[in-house]
Amino acid sequence: MHHFNYKNGRLHCEGVDLHEIADTVGTPVYVYSSATLRRHAKVIAGAFDGMDCLIAYSVKANGNLAVLKTLAAEGCGADVVSGGELQKALVAGIPASKIVFSGVGKTREEMALGLREGIHQFNVESGAELEVLSEVATSMGKVAPITLRVNPDVAAGGHPNISTGKAGDKFGVPWDDAPALYERIKTLPGVKAVGVDVHIGSQIGDLGPMRAAFEKTIGLVKSLRAAGHDLTRIDLGGGLGIPYKASDNPAPPSDYAQMIREVTEGLGLQVVLEPGRVIAGNAGVMITEALYHKPAPDRTFLIIDAGMNDLMRPALYQAHHDIVPLSEPSADKPMVEYDVVGPICESTDKFATKRHMPEVEPGARIAFMSSGAYGAVLSSQYNARPLVAEVLVDDAQYAIVRRRPSFDEMIALEQTPDWLS
């Protein structure tokens, strides 16, 4: 469900004509819908109504401050994986008491920041991190509330690059090590175990692997409780998938919530969730302009003004994004097949192969749908292309929420050493 629709033959985001945004801001540009963000936050929260549940939006999916502020106003907390994300969440008005800190490589400085701010919990990913966190907390006269992220050795399905819960993945502590690590926690002065954490991957449409991982983790909670650990929370991570194309049929949030109600029933646990994509994914599009047609012996390339530096997902994960023209094609518009590519000097700078779509003339604009999550956040300045701009729409109004840097700004951090000046 999203708020991108044709009105009078022109693609709109809520009440705003996307051509107007492209005219004033230029292309490529990301456009986000406030109504979609709010709706998704409400649907997720509503599905867990009546449960003790913290919805900690996963900032990595889309960390734009305006997006975070929109979600903060909906009552979302935040799942962060760096000091930078933690600071952004705070700046956006998300209270520290609703922030959880995940990630395998927290530095001492990042730990100290979380402790100073008094975040809800640290999701600890190794025995070594545990020792360091205890040391840092002790030196500050604090005790860090922690969960251990466990690796349940369950395959999430989907693309291997975004699977995190198999034994060979770098995430979580090995399953069999967990009981001993919880015993170790008892002896460390700077950490207190409050729960267990699990996250098996992203873009998961089938609830089966999630249920298997969650049930296994609940079993661990029970045995740890029996061993005298006072655990009050379970963090079940994020990972719920979204439809990227019409034939995708991921489990809806209501089924996901029902499954979680079932597996956590009667345990008196606070459930922490870290949804990212399901909130932001379909709330954004990337608009780009067609530059050239380039015929080759067996195909036609459609060259556009966005590159893999602006939207990495197709290059990194062979991800599919629907491509939709901003001007609604007439019924007699010829259907053609394009390899849609960007200007970057890499063969992986390809958004679609032999995509069947209405003809796109040079100068026409197209939108990459479902680009709100893991879109702009993954963008770079590769090939000295200034960072892509971002715009937030709210009903009939819109605002630039990250502008494209000028050339001077783009190179401002670079310095010429004395011997070259």
Q: Which of 190, 237, 358, 372 binds ligand LLP (CB under 6 A)?
A: 237
State yes or no: residue 152 binds ligand LLP (CB under 6 A).
no
Of the candidates 97, 126, 269, the one whose C-alpha atom is nearest the C-alpha of residue 185 is: 126
Active site residue 345: yes
Stretch 36-95 residues interacting with ligand LLP (CB under 6 A):
58, 60-61, 79
Q: Which of 239, 284, 358, 372 binds ligand LLP (CB under 6 A)?
A: 239
State yes or no: residue 325 binds ligand LLP (CB under 6 A).
no
Q: Are strands 389-394 and 29-33 parallel, antiparallel or unpaired?
A: parallel
Options 211-219, 238-246, 330-338, 394-402: segment touching ligand LLP (CB under 6 A)? 238-246
Residue 60: exposed, middle, or buried by beta-carbon count in 10 A (0-12, 13-18, 19+)?
buried
Residue found under tokens 């602006």: 310
State yes or no: residue 274 binds ligand LLP (CB under 6 A).
yes
CB of 250 to ligand LLP, least distance (A): 11
Q: Which of 256, 368, 374, 398 binds ligand LLP (CB under 6 A)?
A: 374
The tokens of 178 are what? Answer: 């967990």
Q: Is 332 helix (H, G, I), strand (E, B) or coil?
A: coil
How many residues make contact with ligand LLP (CB under 6 A)?
Answer: 23
State yes or no: residue 172 binds ligand LLP (CB under 6 A).
no
Q: How far is CA 377 from CA 61, 80, 158, 215, 277, in A?
A: 7, 13, 21, 33, 12
Nearer to ligand LLP, 274 or 289 (CB): 274
CB of 283 to ligand LLP, least distance (A): 12
**CA–CA separation, 248 vs 188, rounded Å?**
47
Q: Are strands 350-358 and 323-325 parallel, antiparallel or unpaired?
A: unpaired
Q: Which of 88, 199, 321, 402 binds ligand LLP (CB under 6 A)?
A: 199
Nearer to ligand LLP, 22 or 124 (CB): 124
Angle, CA 196 vertex, CA 257 and CA 152 arms, to 5°: 80
CB of 100 to ligand LLP, least distance (A): 9
Q: Which of 317, 329, 350, 359 binds ligand LLP (CB under 6 A)?
A: 317
Q: How far is CA 304 from CA 17, 281, 376, 414, in A?
A: 20, 22, 17, 29
Of the candidates 236, 303, 246, the one whose C-alpha atom is nearest the C-alpha of residue 100 is: 236
The tokens of 214 are what? Answer: 């969650």
CB of 74 to ligand LLP, least distance (A): 16
Options 270-278, 320-328, 363-371, 398-406: segment touching ligand LLP (CB under 6 A)? 270-278
Q: Is 113 helix (H, G, I), strand (E, B) or coil?
A: helix
CB of 265 to ligand LLP, least distance (A): 23
Residue 378: exposed, middle, or buried by beta-carbon count in 10 A (0-12, 13-18, 19+)?
middle
State yes or no: residue 207 binds ligand LLP (CB under 6 A).
no
Q: Which of 126, 203, 309, 371 binds ligand LLP (CB under 6 A)?
A: 203
Nearer to ligand LLP, 21 or 373 (CB): 373
Of the candidates 356, 316, 418, 396, the one whose C-alpha atom is nearest the C-alpha of residue 17 is: 396
State yes or no: residue 120 binds ligand LLP (CB under 6 A).
no
Q: Hey, which residues does 325 pair with through a beta bridge?
A: 366
Residue count of the chain, please give it: 421
Residues that bind ligand LLP (CB under 6 A): 58, 60-61, 79, 102, 162, 164, 199, 202-203, 237-240, 274-278, 313, 317, 373-374
Which residues carry out catalysis? 345
